[in-house]
Amino acid sequence: MKKLIPLLTIGSLALLQTATAQVNTVEFGKNRVQYQKFKWKYYQTENFNTYFSQDGLGLGKFVAQVAEQELPSIEEFVEYGSQRRINIVVYNNYDEMQQSNIGLGIDWQNTRRGDQAGQQ
């Protein structure tokens, strides 16, 4: 009996080393704190809806115009033609973007300040 207890203990420990559990990788607390209330408006062109918040009309129009000019090269690059209007969200500054829940959990999202997509 005295020899059996150490063998069972060692055997149990060996089994525990190989045991695996089913785990979901759920990230909690993904809501961001909003320090101000945003009033969203949009500027519509033929192919784009550009959403912007207060004092962002000029930037929203500029982004929509550049997007319209670049649409053919974007469609060629992604090898897909747009079937409906594309939504673009424009923030006035980086802090406003940090308060948004848009795109949470998307690792590929481009969050570089002031860079053009594709430049490194």
What is the tens place of the pLDDT at every residue in 43-75?
Answer: 999 999 999 998 899 999 999 999 999 999 999
Distance CA 4, CA 114 (A): 69
pLDDT on residue 19: 58
pLDDT on residue 82: 87
Does residue 89 lie in a domain region?
yes
What is the residue range of 72's domain? 57-99
For residue 50, how far is the Cα from the chain centroid? 18
Does residue 33 lie in a domain region?
no
Question: If pLDDT is split at 50, 70 and 90, which confidence band does 112 have?
Answer: low
Higher pLDDT, 27 or 78: 78
Pairing verdict, β 86-90 and 48-52: parallel
Specify whether the CB–CB gap between 30 and 9 falls below 8 A. Answer: no
Does residue 20 lie in a domain region?
no
Element housing 43 (H / E): strand 41-44
Does residue 43 lie in a domain region?
no
Higher pLDDT, 77 or 36: 77
Q: Is the pLDDT assigned to residue 120 strictly greater than 50?
A: no
Does residue 105 lie in a domain region?
no
For residue 104, how far is the Cα from the chain centroid? 5
Q: Is the pLDDT assigned to residue 99 strictly greater than 90?
A: no
The mean pLDDT value for 73-90 works out to 92
pLDDT on residue 6: 75
Does residue 104 lie in a domain region?
no
The total number of structural domains in the chain stands at: 1
Q: Report DSSP letters for 61-84, one per residue.
A: HHHHHHHHHHHHHHHHHHT---SS
Start-to-end Cα distance in the chain: 69
Which distant-in-sequence residues (6+ apart) come within 8 Å of 44 by Cβ? Answer: 50, 85
pLDDT on residue 11: 72
Average confidence score pLDDT of the chain: 78
